Amino acid sequence: MTLRKRLLSAGILLVGLITVSTIGYLLLGGHEVSFLQALYMAVITVAGVGYGEIVDTSHHPALRIFNIGIVLFGVAITVYVFSIVAAFLVEVEAANPFWRRRMQNRIGDTSDHYIICGMGDTGRHAALELRKTGTPYVVVDSVEDNLKRARALNPEYLGDVLYVVGDATEEDVLERAGIARAKGLLAALPHDKDNLVITVLAHQRFPKLRVVSRASDQKFAERIAKAGANATVSVSQIGGLRMASEAIRPHAVGFLDAMLKNQNKTLRVEDLEIAPGSKWAGKKLTDVDLKGRFNLLVLGLKHPKGSDLPEIVVNPSDHATVSGGGVIIAMGEIADIVRARGDCEGRS
């Protein structure tokens, strides 16, 4: 029996007991007992509030025995009803259809976002980075407690997160997360098989969607890459590289940590994509003047494939030409990166 049916049955039992009680007090109480008195007596007896008797049972043994039965049945039914009501309220709070509908509407208004599949430790750190850099995202997880745990660990960054509760390996769940309007997807589930399934689903439906997947096993990393992932990330491999870096280049690692963990500034190394029609296309770096206009440090320049120029140029000269379809790799504050992107795209 469903919870709602149990609630209905409990309500019928309670109303039935009050009805029987009222009729019993009317019949056994004599002509001096009115309907209102009988109903009032029935309610206070079933509820067990402890008020004085409206219908005098001291001179009526049968009425007193009847009253004892009502008290016993009333306590049992009242406890049962309250337990069912409490369970129903918990279920309503968990489902909260109005709140979930509002959440879904907000997701429906979101575009050019990233979908994070899995809110474990890997997904949580990915969400933190997206939030710090002002990048919109939607979380998908089958266990809502994972999101609550992430919020508890980082309330200042993850207090208001758009999310969908469901299995990320299901196509309809990804559609609810707005995959048709998304810019990228991060498959961060703990099991490689699940991340492989997500990659296949995403790549088949949306081949241009950028997919980055977590992979624990190197063999699965290769399979996931063949399935369409643009990049795979091995948590153990990154951990090993970090340990080695801490040992042999501690000052460089300390600098990067300070950059990432600085609470006053959000310094990042970011991509500035140059569209073929951008006003930056064809200009020299000295004319774009990222350092003077936006306080950004140019670290590298990527030319489009098929160009006669080298694909990647590290620490390019100020006289290097910015190609349409290429990418400038720059370091600076996120606010300055956003301003530079707006200028590159022609926004004020």
Measured CA to CA, the distance from residue 136 to residue 206 in angstroms comes to 19
CATH number attached to the domain at 111-233: 3.40.50.720
Q: What pLDDT is attached to residue 306?
A: 77
pLDDT higher than 50, residue 348: no
Strands laid side by side in the 210-214 sheet: 163-165, 137-141, 114-117, 184-187, 210-214, 231-233
In Å, how far are 13, 64, 162, 167 from 96, measured between CA atoms?
27, 46, 15, 19
pLDDT higher than 90, residue 291: yes
Shortest CA distance to 123 belongs to which of 104, 103, 137, 108?
137
Measured CA to CA, the distance from residue 225 to residue 211 in angstroms comes to 9
Q: What is the mean pLDDT of residues 143-153?
A: 85
Give residue-wise pLDDT tens across range 110-121: 999 999 999 999
Query: Domain segments of the chain: what residues?
Result: 3-95, 111-233, 265-344
Domain 3-95: CATH class, spelled out: mainly alpha
Measured CA to CA, the distance from residue 348 to residue 336 in angstroms comes to 13
Determine how many CB atoms are found less than 10 A away from the CB of residue 179.
Answer: 20
Q: Which residues on adjacent β-strands are paired with residue 182? A: none
Give residue-wise pLDDT tens across range 220-258: 899 999 999 999 999 888 889 889 999 999 988 888 887
Of the listed ranges 49-53, 104-108, 136-140, the one predicted with least confidence: 49-53
- Ranked by mean pLDDT, the top range of 3-7, 130-134, 171-175 is 171-175
Measured CA to CA, the distance from residue 41 to residue 106 in angstroms comes to 52
Q: 3.30.70.1450, 3.40.109.10, 3.30.365.10, 3.40.800.10: which CATH number matches 265-344?
A: 3.30.70.1450
Determine how many CB atoms are found less than 10 A away from the CB of residue 84.
Answer: 19
pLDDT higher than 50, residue 8: yes
pTM beyond 0.85: no
Of the listed ranges 57-71, 87-101, 117-131, 142-156, the one predicted with least confidence: 87-101
In the chain, the percentage of residues whose pLDDT exceeds 90 is: 41
Measured CA to CA, the distance from residue 83 to residue 70 in angstroms comes to 20
Q: What pLDDT is attached to residue 266?
A: 80
Q: How buried is 261 (Cβ within 10 angstroms: 0-12 exposed, 13-18 middle, 19+ buried)?
A: exposed
pLDDT higher than 80, residue 61: no
Q: What pLDDT is attached to residue 98?
A: 67
Per-position b or e across 198-225, b if 16+ CB within 10 A of its CB: bbbbbbeebeebebbbbbeeeebbebbb
Q: What is the mean pLDDT of residues 81-87?
A: 77
